[in-house]
């Protein structure tokens, strides 16, 4: 009995030592890999930082509102943690927030409008869009919607306008059409509706290696994910190694480079965009408002003079996104904006040229603009509305 016990004890001791040594080696290996992954991520991020720090400096230096806005924006990000609020059918909206320079009311960015009395006849303008309309990069008064309001009152001094922004990060054109339908069903009645699109439709539905209908963000966290999956997600973001693995496993940052694959995708998304324009036009006829669709400028499609900060950002963006933006631009121009037989040509406008004459840097990334860039876009939108008779003098 004692001999058998001694054999078992020795076997157990040997196995325990083997397991402990193996565990020790795995811990050492993981620590080495974690350090190496951290170094690789730091190297990658430093490349991105080098390209973006110049445009960010150009976009914010000397702005009197900069310090207060950065404080408010950081508080908004901390309070929301990047999550969205579930919204039926259109899927999500932005968390509400109140501060000195950044305000979100009922899920959408506050627009700065001049005051008016109840006796005034007010033209109500809805602007539909995504993050480039939400304009998290600037204070309330410098969003595109706020500057559209300013330009409308300048162009039509005898009229009163109330502009409302319905921009939500990650939206594509079809989601905005659903949201407009919901607003109409809820009893809201605009006089003019403006759509401002192109970036997300191209990025997510054409360019990505695995195209997706829209950005799903973290709705899984709020609706479907189990506690275990949330714990895994937290582990990923706290580990350099797991972050690196997930970065190379997912398609979120991978974009198709082959034009032969991109062109059929662009044709399909262009067809759907044309259908949304037709749908919006039919809604306008049924509910008695005017509608206009604007295709937005991006860093990869504008022809503006490039200063050094924007040149570095353009080089980085071209490597990341490939030719998807230029192919999509060519496709919508051919089929919609420059097509004389397109049925809704009178309400569809490509305003990529809005920034062509701007000398200074106006891009903070490949699609989001500085306060000055937003102002130029707003000027072009109002100029287009005025030229095409959307608003009578």
The domain limits of the chain are 64-214+254-387
Per-residue pLDDT reduced to its tens digit, 194-238: 999 999 999 989 998 877 766 654 444 444 444 444 444 555 455
Q: What is the CATH number of domain 64-214+254-387?
A: 3.40.50.1110
Main-chain phi, psi angles of 358, to 5 degrees: -80, 125
Residue 323 has pLDDT above 60, yes or no: yes
Can you give the pLDDT at residue 224? 44
Lowest mean pLDDT among 109-123, 131-145, 242-256, 276-290: 242-256
Residue 299 pLDDT > 90: yes
Question: Confidence class of residue 21 from pLDDT cuts 50, 70 and 90?
Answer: confident
Judge whether residue 186 has pLDDT over 80: yes
Question: What is the arrangement of strands in the sheet containing 290-295, beginning at the earlier edge strand?
Answer: 160-167, 122-129, 192-197, 290-295, 348-350
Contacts of 61 (CB under 8 A, 6+ apart): none
Q: Is the pLDDT of residue 40 over 50?
A: yes
What pLDDT, on the 0 to 100 scale, is given for residue 272?
96
What tens digit of pLDDT does each residue of 135-178 get? 999 999 999 999 999 999 999 998 999 999 999 988 999 999 99
At residue 228, the pLDDT reads 45
User: What is the pLDDT, as a whole number, of residue 4?
Assistant: 76
Quote the pLDDT of residue 223. Answer: 43
The Cα 52–Cα 81 span in angstroms is 23
Q: What is residue 127's predicted lDDT score, i.e. its pLDDT?
A: 98
Q: Region 110-126: what's the mean pLDDT?
A: 88
3-state secondary structure string across the chain: CHHHHHHHHHHHHHHHHHHHHHHHHHHHHHHHHHHHHHHHHHHHHHHHHHHHHHHHHHHHCCCCCHHHHHHHHHHHHHHHCCCCEEECCCEEECCCECCCCCCEECCEECCCCCCCCCCCCEEEEEEEECHHHHCCCCCHHHCHHHHHHHHHHHHCCCCEEEEEEEECCCCCHHHHHHHHHHHHHCCCCCCEEEEEECHHHHHHHHHECCCCCCCCCCHHHHHCCCHHHHHHHHHHHHCHHHHHHHHHHCCCCCECCCHHHHHHHHHHHHHHHHHHHHHHHHHHHHHCCEEEEEECCCCCCCCCCCCHHHHHHHHHHHHHHCCHHHHHHHHHHHHHHCCCCCCCHHHEEECHHHHCCCCCCCECCCCCECHHHHHHHHHHHHHHHHHCCCCCC
Whether the CB-CB separation of 141 and 112 falls below 8 Å is answered with yes
> How far is Cα of residue 132 from the mean position of the Cα atoms in its chain?
6
Average per-residue pLDDT for the chain: 85
Per-residue pLDDT tens for 367-392? 999 999 999 999 999 999 999 999 88
């Amino acid at each position: 009995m004692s001999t058998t016990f001694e054999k078992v004890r020795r076997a157990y001791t040997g196995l325990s030592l083997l397991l402990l040594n193996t565990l020790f080696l795995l811990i050492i290996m993981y620590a080495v890999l974690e350090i190496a992954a951290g170094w690789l991520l730091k190297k990658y991020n430093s490349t991105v930082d080098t390209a973006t720090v110049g445009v960010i400096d150009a976009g914010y230096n000397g702005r009197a509102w900069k310090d207060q806005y950065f404080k408010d924006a950081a508080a908004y990000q901390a309070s929301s943690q990047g999550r969205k609020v579930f919204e039926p059918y259109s899927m999500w909206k932005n968390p509400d927030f109140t501060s000195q320079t950044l305000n979100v009311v009922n899920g959408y960015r506050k627009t700065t409008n001049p005051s008016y009395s109840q006796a005034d006849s007010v033209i109500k303008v809805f602007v539909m869009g995504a993050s480039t309309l939400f304009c998290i990069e600037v204070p309330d008064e410098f969003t595109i919607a706020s500057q559209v309001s300013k330009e409308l009152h300048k162009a039509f001094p005898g009229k009163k306008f109330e502009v409302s922004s319905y921009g939500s990060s990650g939206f594509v054109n079809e989601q905005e059409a659903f949201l407009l339908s919901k607003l109409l069903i809820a009893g809201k009645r605009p006089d003019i509706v403006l759509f401002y699109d192109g970036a997300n439709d191209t990025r997510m539905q054409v360019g990505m290696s695995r195209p997706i209908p829209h950005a799903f963000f973290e709705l899984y966290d709020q609706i479907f994910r189990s506690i275990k999956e949330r714990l895994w997600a937290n582990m990923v973001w706290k580990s350099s190694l797991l972050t690196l693995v997930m970065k190379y496993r997912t398609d979120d940052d991978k974009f198709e480079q082959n034009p032969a694959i991109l062109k059929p995708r662009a044709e399909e998304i262009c067809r759907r965009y044309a259908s949304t324009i037709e749908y919006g036009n039919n809604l306008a006829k049924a509910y008695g408002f005017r509608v206009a669709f604007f295709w937005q400028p991006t860093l990869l499609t504008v022809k503006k003079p490039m200063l050094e900060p924007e040149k570095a950002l353009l080089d980085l963006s071209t490597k990341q996104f490939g030719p998807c933006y230029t192919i999509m631009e060519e496709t919508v121009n051919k089929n919609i904006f420059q097509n004389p037989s397109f049925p809704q040509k009178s309400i569809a406008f490509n305003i990529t040229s809005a920034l062509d004459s701007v000398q200074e840097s106006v891009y903070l990334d490949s699609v989001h603009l500085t306060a000055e860039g937003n102002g130029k876009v707003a000027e072009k939108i109002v100029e287009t509305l005025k030229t095409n008779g959307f608003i009578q003098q």
